[in-house]
């Protein structure tokens, strides 16, 4: 599990506590997801490649740096959408490619219902984002799709993870770094993370009482 990085920071711990609280409103929950996504992305992108460029300031010419790789954000629908905009604010040139996966409630296996990656050369680095890493099935399916596309570097960003999900990802994709804010105790019989934070998609999109 050397590829698993838990972001140990006071701000992360503070925001995760608010995220877990059942009394946190959907509006605040969305903001907390965004704040944590920024902190995760900061940690996950520390080794992106740079090239030196010369720029003109209002006073003089000087050396600067710019990113050289094509970066893709790959949210796993639907909850992953809550992490996209704040990361795009950090990397506005990033491409966004969606993967739609849901968990079959009977088998707990991922079912793909949407994937539209472009033909031709893949991005250089793909950041797969999903607030919850539970069984790991959806993450493994997404990473397999990106590998088939030809992405040379993949990274997984999740707010909360279960040990079972981490084990599944690292077993199938040992070279993929996994960045999380917290690793919880276990999955329950319904494959929910304990203590977790409930259903992230429902809490982001305020569909908890959806019939």
Q: Which residues are the active-site residues? A: 103, 107, 199, 202
HSE, side-chain direction, 13 A CA sphere, residue 38? 12
- Choose among 144, 142, 190, 184: nearest CA to 164: 184
To 10 degrees, what angle do helices 10-20 and 26-44 make? 150
Which tokens sit at 124? 């250089």
- Does residue 96 contact residue 130 with C-beta atoms inside 8 Å? no
- In whole angstroms, what is the distance from residue 126 CA to residue 143 CA? 9
Tokens of 165: 């999900």
The residue among 158, 210, 204 whose CA lies nearest residue 184 is 158
């Amino acid at each position: 599990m050397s590829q698993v990085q838990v972001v140990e920071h006071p701000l992360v711990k503070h925001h995760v506590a608010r995220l877990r609280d059942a009394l946190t409103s959907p509006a605040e929950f969305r903001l907390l997801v965004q704040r944590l996504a920024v902190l995760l992305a900061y940690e996950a992108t520390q080794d992106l490649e740079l090239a030196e460029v010369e720029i003109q300031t209002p006073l003089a010419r000087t050396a600067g740096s710019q990113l050289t790789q094509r970066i893709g954000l790959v949210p796993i629908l639907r909850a992953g959408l809550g992490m996209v905009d704040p990361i795009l604010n950090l990397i506005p040139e990033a491409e966004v490619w969606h993967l739609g996966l849901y968990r079959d409630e009977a088998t707990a296996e991922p079912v793909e219902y949407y994937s539209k990656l472009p033909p031709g050369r893949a991005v250089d680095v793909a950041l797969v984002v999903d607030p919850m890493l539970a069984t790991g099935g959806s993450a493994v399916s997404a990473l397999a799709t990106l590998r088939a596309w030809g992405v040379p570097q993949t990274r997984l960003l999740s707010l909360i993870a279960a040990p079972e999900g981490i084990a599944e990802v690292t077993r199938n994709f040992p070279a993929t770094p996994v960045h999380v804010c917290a690793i919880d105790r276990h999955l329950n019989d319904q494959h929910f993370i304990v203590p977790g934070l409930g259903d992230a998609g429902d809490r982001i999109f305020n569909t908890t009482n959806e019939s």
